[in-house]
Structure 1
Amino acid sequence: MSRKNILYAQSGGVTPVINASAAGVIEAARARPDQIGQVLAGHNGILGVLREELIDTAQLTSADLHALAQTPGGLFGSCRYKLKGLDENRREYERLIEVFRAHDIGVFLYNGGNDSADTALKVSQMAKLMGVPVQCIAVPKTIDNDLEGTDNSPGFGSVAKYVAVSILEASLDVQSMASTSTKVFILEVMGRHAGWIAAAGGLVKRRDGDPPHLILFPEVAFDEQRFLAAVRQAVETYGYCSIVVSEGVRNADGKFLSDSGSTDAFGHAQLGGVAPVIAGLVKDRLGYKHHWAVSDYLQRSARHLASQTDLEHALAVGRTAVELALDGHSGILAGIERESDQPYRWRVRPVPLDQVANHEKKMPDDFITEDGFGITEACRRYLVPLIRGEAYPDYGTDGLPDYLRCGLELVPPQLAEFDVEQGDALPR
């Protein structure tokens, strides 16, 4: 049986554990030398594949793989680049197939979220249309946890843990000083259309009076008067008010409170920061001394506070993606299926990409309290297993994590250069 070469690429915003999925792919491939040849990685995601900028992961030693699994960011580089439809720009897909052929690629693994699942599906369809034996499998990743076809997305559990710990610690600080200083604290977290990350902050609240006192979800239309009344009640009752707000909070008309008026590479509205908007309301309408913070990149790079469950998920989807490819699967997502909450049991299974691509998993109604400002016990049962366990990285003698930071060489190109903007080949 001829050996397959694998091409792996990372896509979209990175996570604390996306490199663990990469390590899982490489380790699983190295365990099958009779079936798998090279494992190449696209430099800067799908753009690196289009440009034929590929990295041979054979450069990584076993020690490097150990370090890779505990390093945040994306070692091979990621990108935000959405392939057009097959009818809009067939040349992009033909170029991908040319790269596959030039490097004898039999398996394409794309590690990302919703848009990446759509890319993997389109590439799979194009390969079939052109009669090229390339198996395309999506490896799940997104801190937003909005990917369909999987119980949760690797990356989310660690971000959820970071947000829960952060709002707990900040709230204890604010509570200590509330009599003479800040009375309202606002933490902004990511989540454009789905409030999963914001919901994680609610895990801290175990009894009345515990923070966060309010959570603002994208799934619940923002009502200014109800919000201000709830803030006033919390301050008058508990002495302070701690708030978690998702970046994607909208008003009753569906407009983002923080819409900056521009769009990103995927055509999504660029959000300019909702925490200062909320803080402005608190100051102007209530007059309370306040403070706000945006977790931003800190939440998605905090490998020092990763969830052990999340790390295990990330490694497993990478390893299983390789196994699914060897079993003949294509056009699928290596999705996580929850079998039990208590004890927490799960497995990785194939999910057809047409059930995943361009779908978005939002918070179920029964996960949000009736007042729209908190999480229910059903939501808590879902979230708790995902943040369990600590997966601390190795620390060096200087007191800093031993993250993998190395320059990797590209393999020699076999094709003409490709102009991504023009969609055409160039002479080298």
Structure 2
Amino acid sequence: MSQGKLLYAQSGGVTAVINATAAAVIDTARRRKVPVLAARNGIIGALREDLIDTSKESAAAIKALRHTPGGAFGSCRFKLKSLEQDRARYERLIAVLKAHDIRWFLYNGGNDSADTSLKISQIARELGYPVNVVGVPKTVDNDLAVTDCCPGFGSVAKYTAVSVAEASLDVESMCASSTKVFIVEVMGRHAGWIAAAGGLAARKAGDPPHLILFPEVAFDEDAFLARVKATVERVGYCTVVASEGLKNAAGQFLAEAGTRDAFGHAQLGGVAPVLAQLVRQKLGYKYHWALPDYLQRSARHLASKTDAEQAWAVGKAAVEYALAGRNAVMPVIVRTSDAPYRWKIEPAPLERVANHEKTLPKGFISRDGYGITAAARRYLEPLIRGEDPPKYLRDGLPDYVRLGNAAVRRKLPRYEIAD
């Protein structure tokens, strides 16, 4: 009689450390003699019964996975609706789990994934199929409720702060005869956590970034232009960190492209060039702008050690919770001390996580709306501490691994996913 298998899937936009979580899941399960399958391209692979046999991967490959960016098994943006609206798909998922004797399902993603995990646990209970479902936290946006921080955020925060500091030194050196304004656009549709992290580059008053534009603060064109002008006149240049989710007083995105993704989110067309044109037209300053985009979440070479350790810890705990019989829970990070920084992992019910968004606290934004407070710095700074670099090869590039991802033989009829 089969002992049961564990299925792991990755969801949504990946992070620099999501594969560290995957490596922890596989390593922990192997130590417990539990076979691990992975869904190719997230929940889509689970629905299509497109599964991967991770037992075919060597211990060395799994070890290297810990330091490799991207999503090793493929991820996707695909949202399952309510149990009533998407019941056939949920029943298909249970059929796939049953066909492969999957008794533990770990879904590694953000808010939508936590909601899906909760619903899968509910439909499995209703249909009488014994499977323990554990949501595993991951998101660069740091907007999951309950957990103190989200694995993936600390590395993006570190990349952002370092990039702002380095680019500002470049701009400062050229501002007398060239660029006066530099704008960097960061991710963050509704929550300004990454924008706030850019503020860590300023070690003392007056250091760049000189302005941070948060999605939580309505954009005021006149006030913005006045601050840019005053900063350039005072220090010679102005560095701006702008969240992609910046909105005007009417609540409209400054740079909405007019399309939406699978989760129903507006596709944002780039707030940095919009702001840059404003600066050029109204103030006449020479400018440059940058859109790091995927570079923010894939920069494993600059990952935070704290972040990498937490990503591993939630993966390990997720397996332990599932094998211990816990269901519909998520391992979350609990901060026990700021100084010295200490944290631990505890289980939280998925009902407390799903469909709850954690935005930047008002107390983290300075009174003028353009900077971060000491409280924000106390929260953010420990998350970017430490380095956890990958191994570099003689050609000067990191030694990133590509898994074989051997397919598991299908047992059910082919399944097509209609739009």
TM class by smaller structure: over 0.9
Choose which of 386, 394, 397 in structure 2 pairs with 1:397: 394
The superposition leaves residues 317-364 of structure 1 with CA deviations (integer Å, 9 ceiling, x where unpaired) of 000001111221111111111111111111111111111111111000
Aligned counterpart, 2:319: 322
Using the TM superposition, give the Cα deviation of residue 255 of structure 1 relative to its aligned residue in structure 2, in angstroms: 0.2
Matched ranges for 1:175-214 at <5 A: 175-214=172-211
Aligned length: 419
SS in 2 for 1:418: coil
1:386 aligns with 2:383: yes
Q: Distance in 1 between matches of 2:42 and 2:160?
A: 27
| Contact kept? 1:149, 1:333, Cα under 8 Å | no
1:15 aligns with 2:21: no
1:163 aligns with 2:168: no
* Structure 2 runs not aligned, ≥5 long: none
Using the TM superposition, give the Cα deviation of residue 209 of structure 1 relative to its aligned residue in structure 2, in angstroms: 1.9
Aligned counterpart, 2:32: 32
1:6 aligns with 2:6: yes
Choose which of 390, 414, 418 in structure 2 pairs with 1:417: 414
Choose which of 80, 98, 121 in structure 2 pairs with 1:124: 121
The superposition leaves residues 68-121 of structure 1 with CA deviations (integer Å, 9 ceiling, x where unpaired) of 000000010000000011111210000000000000001100000011101101
1:340 aligns with 2:337: yes
Q: Distance in 2 between matches of 1:343 and 1:223?
A: 39
The superposition leaves residues 217-276 of structure 1 with CA deviations (integer Å, 9 ceiling, x where unpaired) of 000000111111110111011100000000000001000000111111111111000000
Q: Distance in 1 between matches of 2:58 and 2:341?
A: 33
Matched ranges for 1:60-79 at <5 A: 60-79=57-76
Using the TM superposition, give the Cα deviation of residue 208 of structure 1 relative to its aligned residue in structure 2, in angstroms: 2.3
| Contact kept? 1:16, 1:72, Cα under 8 Å | yes
What amino acid maps onto 1:13 in structure 2?
G
1:134 aligns with 2:131: yes
Using the TM superposition, give the Cα deviation of residue 152 of structure 1 relative to its aligned residue in structure 2, in angstroms: 0.5
Return the TM-score normalized by structure 1: 0.97
What amino acid maps onto 2:5 in structure 1?
N
Using the TM superposition, give the Cα deviation of residue 2 of structure 1 relative to its aligned residue in structure 2, in angstroms: 7.0
Q: Distance in 2 between matches of 1:406 and 1:277?
A: 41
Q: Distance in 1 between matches of 2:26 and 2:354?
A: 25
Using the TM superposition, give the Cα deviation of residue 406 of structure 1 relative to its aligned residue in structure 2, in angstroms: 3.3
SS in 1 for 2:404: coil
Choose which of 281, 298, 302 in structure 2 pairs with 1:284: 281
SS in 1 for 2:415: strand
Q: Distance in 1 between matches of 2:353 and 2:162?
A: 31
Aligned counterpart, 2:147: 150
Aligned counterpart, 2:81: 84
What amino acid maps onto 2:125 in structure 1?
K
Aligned counterpart, 2:365: 368
Using the TM superposition, give the Cα deviation of residue 149 of structure 1 relative to its aligned residue in structure 2, in angstroms: 1.8
CA root-mean-square deviation: 1.0
Q: Distance in 2 between matches of 1:67 and 1:376?
A: 38
Matched ranges for 1:225-236 at <5 A: 225-236=222-233
What amino acid maps onto 1:239 in structure 2?
G
What amino acid maps onto 2:418 in structure 1?
E
Aligned counterpart, 2:271: 274
Q: Distance in 1 between matches of 2:334 and 2:58?
A: 32
Q: Distance in 1 between matches of 2:351 and 2:88?
A: 22
Return the TM-score normalized by structure 2: 0.99
What amino acid maps onto 1:242 in structure 2?
T
Tell me which moved more, 342-351 or 161-170.
Answer: 342-351
The superposition leaves residues 35-77 of structure 1 with CA deviations (integer Å, 9 ceiling, x where unpaired) of x2x1000000000000000001111111101110000000100
Q: Distance in 1 between matches of 2:98 and 2:203?
A: 56
Q: Distance in 2 between matches of 1:162 and 1:4?
A: 40
Q: Distance in 2 between matches of 1:329 and 1:407?
A: 31
Q: Distance in 2 between matches of 1:373 and 1:129?
A: 50
Q: Distance in 1 between matches of 2:321 and 2:144?
A: 20
Tell me which moved more, 46-55 or 331-340.
Answer: 331-340
Q: Distance in 1 between matches of 2:395 and 2:316?
A: 33
* Structure 1 runs not aligned, ≥5 long: 423-428
Choose which of 294, 299, 302 in structure 2 pairs with 1:297: 294
SS in 2 for 1:136: strand
Using the TM superposition, give the Cα deviation of residue 392 of structure 1 relative to its aligned residue in structure 2, in angstroms: 0.4
The superposition leaves residues 358-380 of structure 1 with CA deviations (integer Å, 9 ceiling, x where unpaired) of 11110000000000000000000
Using the TM superposition, give the Cα deviation of residue 288 of structure 1 relative to its aligned residue in structure 2, in angstroms: 0.5
What amino acid maps onto 1:192 in structure 2?
R
SS in 2 for 1:400: coil
Using the TM superposition, give the Cα deviation of residue 3 of structure 1 relative to its aligned residue in structure 2, in angstroms: 3.0
What amino acid maps onto 1:406 in structure 2?
L
Q: Distance in 1 between matches of 2:102 and 2:63?
A: 26
SS in 2 for 1:222: coil
1:215 aligns with 2:212: yes
Choose which of 347, 354, 358 in structure 2 pairs with 1:357: 354
SS in 2 for 1:417: coil
